[in-house]
Amino acid sequence: MEPTTTRRVANHWPWISGVVALGVAAALGLLVVLRESPLDLDAEWMDDVLAERVPSLQVLALLMDRLGGGPIGIFVVPLGLVALLLIARRPWGALFSIIAAALSAGAVQLLKSLFARARPEDILVIADFGSFPSGHVANAATLATTIVLLFGLTRSKAWVWMLGAGWIIAMALSRTYLGAHWVTDTIGGALIGIAVAVIVWAPFASRLEREPRPSKKAPQPTGAAATPLTPADGAPTLGAKQVSRVITPAGPARTP
């Protein structure tokens, strides 16, 4: 492959991978709707979840429910990230994050109304209509991917990737534990959240590389540091003998 072609493919990988992920999510949604019944994977996973329900895990799952959706997950967390990025002098990062969050939420609601999948019967929380895809997991995936793209694109930041993956998996487990979603709903939500964040990141990538912006309050040199001295101001100068000594090349070394 020629270098120009390789560069072109590399520049388009976010669009390609994002569109592929969205296509896989849509195909998965179509599959579960055409089946008109839970997939074997969904049924087996839900049976295992129901057998493992204990009060302590339920408390954690309910906490994840609050953090991943409702006013906190939809407004507080995205707007809080925007505020932190603005404080860190990353305005393009703030714009990227809020657009990704809004488009991800919109895509989830569109697919929920399109597929209209029924939720599991053993649900422990109040939820809106439409099981596929999981909005909580999509929110978690969008947030995690956004943070990775802003702060984790170096080998030394592998821990950012691990934290992001852990957050997505924890949210997915909590949604199935509460009976709010089938496991395929959480897979679809993760694909949508990651795909939207990557697609939105692509046109911002070059600008994001130049952030954070320098602070306007950075101290500027003043007085003598701002204005160099000239000979008339008393700056030291070299005399004629010193100049000739500096520029005259040294003679050949003498040999005994």
Q: For the chain, which domains are there?
A: 10-209 (1.20.144)
> With bands split at pLDDT 50, 70 and 90, how would you rate the model's confidence at 37?
confident
Residues 165-188: tens digit of each pLDDT: 999 999 999 999 999 999 999 999
Tell which wins on pLDDT, 69 or 233.
69
* pLDDT(234) > 60: no
Residues 110-125: tens digit of each pLDDT: 999 999 999 998 899 9
Q: What is the pLDDT of residue 250?
A: 52
The angle at the Cα of 70, spanning 84 to 50, to the nearest 5 degrees, equals 120
Mean pLDDT (whole number) for 98-114: 95
Tell which wins on pLDDT, 252 or 132.
132
Distance CA 153, CA 148 (A): 7
Q: What is the pLDDT of residue 31?
A: 92
Distance CA 52, CA 46 (A): 10
Mean pLDDT (whole number) for 32-42: 86
Return the residue matching tokens 């609050």: 66
DSSP structure class, residue 134: -
Tokens representing residue 203 in the block: 């046109």
Mean pLDDT (whole number) for 208-232: 62
Q: What is the pLDDT of residue 236?
A: 55
Mean pLDDT (whole number) for 75-104: 96
Q: What is the pLDDT of residue 202?
A: 92
* pLDDT(254) > 60: no
Backbone angles phi, psi at 56, to 5 degrees: -65, -45
* pLDDT(222) > 60: no
